[in-house]
Chains A and B, each alone.
Chain A
Amino acid sequence: MSTYKVELFRKFCKSCQICLRICPKQVFSINERGQVIVEDDSRCIGCMQCCNLCPDFALEVTKNGD
């Protein structure tokens, strides 16, 4: 089980890719439709930079077990 759960709220996301670029652990990727997706949140270290910088309130990072 991963330490952090990374959720992306599709209705809010505008796929600007800021999260993808800021993430130091490659948690995010882009699907064939050009949308940002959560590729693998087991890599997440909980730095919260994606959440903080997301202009669209589209991300939530929570610690599993919290």
Chain B
Amino acid sequence: MREQMLKYMKQDKLPHVFCPGCGNGTVMHAMFKAIDELQLDTTQILIVGGIGCSSRIATYTIFDSLHTLHGRALPFAIGAKLANPSLKVIVITGDGDASSIGGNHLIHAARRNMSLSVFIVNNYTYGMTGGQYSPTTPIGSFTATSPCGHVEQPFSITDLLVGAGAPFVARTGTFYFNEMVSLMKKALVNDSFSAIDIFTQCPTNYGRSNRLGNPFDLMKSQSDILVPKGKFEQMTEEEREGKFARGLIRDAKIPTFMDHYKACVLLTRRGVRR
């Protein structure tokens, strides 16, 4: 099994750069497992990362890889996908990368229904710069830039994506490995914009600042607030406080950007315009 996973990695670059207990490695593992089980043609996979710890995942794979600018993984991916639609484009991005500096790109990629598989590694913090607060940092928690407790309410990235019109939206956590693999497989075979918000532990920065114990305890505490979607929907507003739904949040079939664009190509070729 291990050998099967390692064959997707640049083995001469291992062990990877992530801290002990960081969930990025687990996300990477789940992604390789999903790709392996689907038997995807690895020469046709392009993996795009932004900037941040999790975005480094892209650089460790043997796929064509594009390690980009902070927040901009999605538009880079859009350009590549439109230029070569046969590529399977995976975007690995963090919570800050995707929903703060890249928030605009996130909602517009979702709205356009671009055929991308987007894995958002959500560890509530900017790990690479030393643990500052991000748009998903829970209110009251401590970070390098909220020494007295965070005063802002966090994003629910899945709600944001559903609001933006994303057809495939899911949420899980590193603790739910098998669920993560199964959601990733669904996202990878899907032609729609498919995003998964993955709660991931950052023991070095977020965990330590909040005295959340060792990597396992932190992972467990992040998984305990994830409630299966069906159960979450039965809960009252009060019960939902501080909790998030997990599983497949939305799975709709709607035409992709390319579907619409192909129709536009036919019109221009026939000389039809307003």
Interface residues in chain B, defined as those with a beta carbon under 8 Å from any beta carbon in chain A: 1-3, 5-6, 9, 14-16, 18-26, 28-30, 174-175, 177-178, 203, 214-217, 219
Contact = CB atoms under 8 A, between A and B. Distances in A.
Taking residues whose C-beta sits less than 8 angstroms from the other chain, chain A's interface range is 20 to 34
Contacts of A53: 26, 174-175, 177, 219
B216 A22 contact: yes
A27 interface: no
Nearest to B11: A57
Interface of A: 9, 11-12, 14-18, 20-22, 48-49, 51-62
Contact of B21 (A17, A51, A59, A61): A17
Contact of B25 (A21, A22, A57): A57
B249 to A, nearest CB: 23
Contacts of A11: 15
Q: Which 7 A-B pairs have the closest CB atoms?
A: A55-B25, A16-B21, A14-B20, A21-B216, A52-B177, A16-B20, A60-B2
A55 B24 contact: yes
Q: Which of A11, A14, A48, A55 has the most CB of B within 10 A?
A: A55
